[in-house]
Each structure stands twice: as C-alpha cells, then as structure tokens.
Amino acid sequence: MSASDLTGLTLKGALDALAEKRVSAVELAQAHIDAIAVANPHLNAYVLETPDKALEMARASDDRRARGEAGPLDGASLGIKDLFATKGVRSTAGSKIIGEFIPPYESTVTANLWRDGAVMLGKLNMDEFAMGSSNETSAFGPVVNPWKTRGSNQPLTPGGSSGGSAAAVAADLCLGATASDTGGSIRQPAAFTGTVGIKPTYGRCSRYGIVAFASSLDQAGPIAKTVEDAAILLRSMAGHDAKDSTSLDVETPDFTSFLGKSPKGLRIGVPKEYRIDGMPDEVAKLWDQGVEWLKAAGCEIKTVSLPHTKYALPAYYIIAPAEASSNLARYDGMRFGLRELGNGTLTDVYEQSRAKGFGEEVKRRILIGTYVLSAGYYDAYYLKAQKVRQRIADDFDAVFQEVDALLTPTAPSAAFALGDRVSDPVAMYLNDVFTVTVNLAGLPGISIPAGVDAGGLPLGLQLIGRALDEGTLFTLGGVVEQAAAFRAKPERWW
C-alpha cells in the first residue's frame, strides 16, 4: 500500500490490515510521521511530534504480533491531546505556565491505550487548559482547520478545545485521537471537521493524569474517522480506576457490538428548546433530515421539552470557571514549569508567574470563578447555578422516561474564520449552547458528521443518551452515519 493509502485507512481498516499482515505497525507509523512532517507547518495540529517513540512502540508492536500476543489496538498510530500526562513526554495543556513539564507518570486513559498496543505519534494542540471553542487560546497558536469554504482561502477554526485532535483525524495525521470534553470540546470540533466524537458518561473514563479544568464536568473520549472507530477507541480508553474517585465501577461493554443493531422501535426525542433563534437554515434543515433518517430506520419520533435549557449556558459559565479557579490555584510558579522571580518575594513570584504564565481567556475564567465563589456572591451565583444544574439533570431524567435518545444539532454553525470571535467572549461561548447541557447532566453525547453547508463545510448532528447507555448512541450513530453517507474529505492544500 502507498503511504497515502495507509494514512487514509480508518482505524478498523488499519487494524484489519495489521491482523492480515498486509502492513506492519512500523510502516503505518512511518506513513503518519511523514504525513505530519508535511502537514504540521500548515495545520499546527501537533505541538510535539514523537517520531522516535512512535517507531520504537511500533517495533515493539510488530514483535508482539509476531509472537501472537497482539492486543485490540496493536499497531494503531494515535495522537494524544496535550491535556493527557504522558510519562517522559512533555505535556503542557496548551499553557505556558506548565512550560516544559515532563510528567513522571502516565494518565490512565493513555496507559489503557498503550496496554492495548497503540502507538503514540505525538501530542496534539488544544485551547489553553481546554478553555475555548476555537483553539485560539493555545499558547502554541491556533490550529488551522483542514477544511476550507469552497472558493475561499480563509483559514478556519477546527473548533475547540480539542482542535488539534479533530484536525489531525480529519487530515489523516493519525488513525484516531484522544480528546476531552467539559462543555463540548470533543463534539464541537468533531462537527467542525467532519469527524466523529463521543463524550461518554461522566465517570466512564478515568480523569487520573488529565490536567483538570472543571472536575465535575471533565470527561475524556475519542475523536475518530467513523462511528465504529470511536467505539473501538472508547472501549480501550474506558474502565474503572481506583485512582479517580469519580470513576464508575461498571463493566465496559464491547461498544462495537451495538453497531448494526436494529434501531427499530427506539424512541427519539427532539427537544423543542434547541430550536434557538437565529439558527442558520442549513443547521435546522439538517436536523429535520436527521429526524427523517431515524424515522425511515424505524424509530419513533417525539417532540419533547427540556424547559431549563436556556439557563444551561449561564450556569455552565459559572460552574466551570468556579471549579477552574480552584483547580488552577496549584500553578503558582513553585511546582511546575514557569517561574518568574519578580522582586524575589513569595507573593511576587506567585503574581508574576501567574501573570506571565496564563493567557487572557484563562485569566478571565479565574477572575469569574473567584468572583462567583467569593463571600457575598456565592449564594447569588454559584449556589444558584448548582440548583439550575440539578433542574437540567431533572429535565433529562423526565424525558428519558419517554424516549431512548435525543437528536439535536451539535453546534449552531459550521466552522468559522480564525479571528472572527476571539474579541467577543459571549459570541464564543454561544458555540456551546447544545453541548453544555450534556456535561451538566453527566450524560453521554456523540457527534456524527451528517452533511455540509452551502460552502461545503461539515455539519454535525448530536445524539444524547441515558447515563451509561453509550450503546444506543453507537447504534443510532451508525444509522445516521450510513444514511448521511458523509464521505467528504477536506481537499488537500497543505
């Protein structure tokens, strides 16, 4: 197979080719390393390339396979969001304050991938501390979306915060990638790049070794080329972990077994509050089309109400910054990365290190977070937001008595131009209007590429499921994927 045939494979296709000895893990890794070397100066998807490590892991994988000891992901070349601690490999969370930090330990999710035989190509760009929707808050500069609007040369955002993961998968710079989602950071970039992303149920994947943003919302998950690939990756990533007290002690099913199951009789809710003012026609149309596809597959469609939806975004932008302000207190110039000595007093080291080490958006979140937690404002903001959060979870509980899953758009628009919304945080936060509810309620959500807008840019549909019912999302996701027959790839300009 030629190098571009290799990078063009799906994860499943590559695993089959490896099993049938049509390709070696080393060849697969080398093809990706070469593709990254060409593309990365243009796309900026990787903040660290680890070709030597990739080849070493690939050689070990080929040896295992020769001995008949190959694991479920053996030889699969993956990219890792730079939020995951990787032992001996610089992990920055997209921030200057973590600097050149080299973790002496491995995150559980990545350890699970290596246990199953996967190969690491490098660390992927992201918004600083995963705060953002466009990858523009990264200390390493923005990622450029491999997609362009037809007839235009303007660089577009791949979405955020997992922009590097989404761009790398879309541009065939890895077979799949890890990502994380606190308010939409797996699903929105997946929608912006024509890839599949699933945020599993809170607690499905361990948070151990993942740089914390908002601990009660953060969840890891994969970004992949197909629904099946996402199912394969999630199975390896998930699992109980004693090192994370919120990790759920439940069996991890074989998620691929839900693909191809009949969706007949499944009841799908269409939440009326998600039809927001100003929703572009194309997004609304694709949503209607999605309903038709599921109906044609034998699902029953119901309009449902999630009455507290309009409070989700404000509640999220109180709770997430509150938790972030607490989590980020540890970056004080003493323990990690950057240290600015200032005038040499302890207070000045703290102040100067934090002033120089954090970017604008992170500072904004810390200020909001400390404000909403401060005496006098705590009840009015933080406590109120917590109550709203419970109401939102109750809304979902109520509709899941009547339906088995919900269908919504993933994001209110297709990818927008880099630079378009950086100066308007509220416009940026509006990107998350369909995704934050799912994190607030701890539910699983998947984004499937389902169509393109008038300019040829991908659009995603989101399916939301009951807690721990990722299986139904894979069944329905497979149906949408097949019906949409979305095979468009970005035209190569890099």
Catalytic positions are 81, 161, 185
Q: What is the DSSP string of 118-141?
A: -EEEEEE--SGGG--SSSTT-TT-
Residue 205 Cβ, how far from ligand GLN at the closest point, in Å?
14
Looking at 2-10, 176-184, 408-416, 441-449, which segment touches ligand GLN (CB under 6 A)? 176-184
Q: Are 211 and 185 in contact (CB under 8 A)?
A: no
> What residues numbered 281-310 form the site for ligand GLN, per CB under 6 A?
none
Give, for 414, the enclosing helix (H) or strand (E): none
Compute the chain's Rg from CA coordinates: 21
> What residues numbered 178-237 form the site for ligand GLN, per CB under 6 A?
181-185, 213
Residue 127 Cβ, how far from ligand GLN at the closest point, in Å?
7
With respect to ligand GLN, which residue has the nearer C-beta, 189 or 333? 189
Does position 80 interact with ligand GLN (CB under 6 A)? The reply is no
> What residues numbered 430-459 form the site for ligand GLN, per CB under 6 A?
432
With respect to ligand GLN, which residue has the nearer C-beta, 178 or 185? 185
User: In 3D, which of 197, 394, 408 has the Cα closest to residue 301?
Assistant: 408
Residue 360 Cβ, how far from ligand GLN at the closest point, in Å?
13
Does position 131 interact with ligand GLN (CB under 6 A)? The reply is yes
Distance CA 160, CA 170 (A): 14
Does position 132 interact with ligand GLN (CB under 6 A)? The reply is yes
Q: What is the DSSP string of 137-186?
A: T-TT-PPPPS---TT----B---SSSHHHHHHHHTTSSSEEEEEESSSTT
Q: Are 108 and 232 in contact (CB under 8 A)?
A: no
Q: Site for ligand GLN (CB under 6 A): which residue of 39, 130, 156, 190?
A: 130
SS3 assignment, position 463: strand
Amino acid at 269: G
Residue 130 Cβ, how far from ligand GLN at the closest point, in Å?
4
Q: Are 113 and 73 in contact (CB under 8 A)?
A: yes
> What residues numbered 404-433 form the site for ligand GLN, per CB under 6 A?
432
Q: Are 391 and 311 in contact (CB under 8 A)?
A: yes
Site string for ligand GLN, 308-327 (x = CB under 6 A): ------------x-------
Looking at 91-99, 130-138, 384-392, 447-455, which segment touches ligand GLN (CB under 6 A)? 130-138
CA distances from 64 to 29, 76, 184 (A): 16, 13, 37
Q: What does the block give as tokens for 267?
A: 């009841």
With respect to ligand GLN, which residue has the nearer C-beta, 132 or 471? 132
Q: Site for ligand GLN (CB under 6 A): which residue of 92, 133, 193, 447?
A: 133
User: In 3D, which of 184, 173, 179 has the Cα closest to residue 146?
Assistant: 173
Q: Rounding to the nearest 10 degrees, give the CA dihedral for residues 256, 258, 259, 263.
A: -170
User: In 3D, which of 161, 168, 47, 179 has the Cα closest to residue 100?
Assistant: 47
Give, for 201, the enclosing helix (H) or strand (E): none
With respect to ligand GLN, which residue has the nearer C-beta, 162 or 353? 162
Give, for 77, the enclosing helix (H) or strand (E): strand 77-81
Looking at 128-136, 275-283, 284-292, 326-334, which segment touches ligand GLN (CB under 6 A)? 128-136
Residue nearest ligand GLN, Cβ-based: 185
Alpha carbon 363 to chain centroid distance?
Answer: 22
Q: Are 178 and 147 in contact (CB under 8 A)?
A: no
Would you tell me how many other CB atoms lie within 10 Å of the CB of residue 249?
A: 9
With respect to ligand GLN, which residue has the nearer C-beta, 93 or 248? 93
Total of residues contacting ligand GLN (CB under 6 A): 13
User: In 3D, which of 91, 124, 79, 86 has the Cα closest to residue 107?
Assistant: 86
Site string for ligand GLN, 153-172 (x = CB under 6 A): --------x-----------
Residue 70 Cβ, how far from ligand GLN at the closest point, in Å?
34
Residue 403 Cβ, how far from ligand GLN at the closest point, in Å?
25
The contact set with ligand GLN (CB under 6 A) reads: 130-133, 161, 181-185, 213, 320, 432
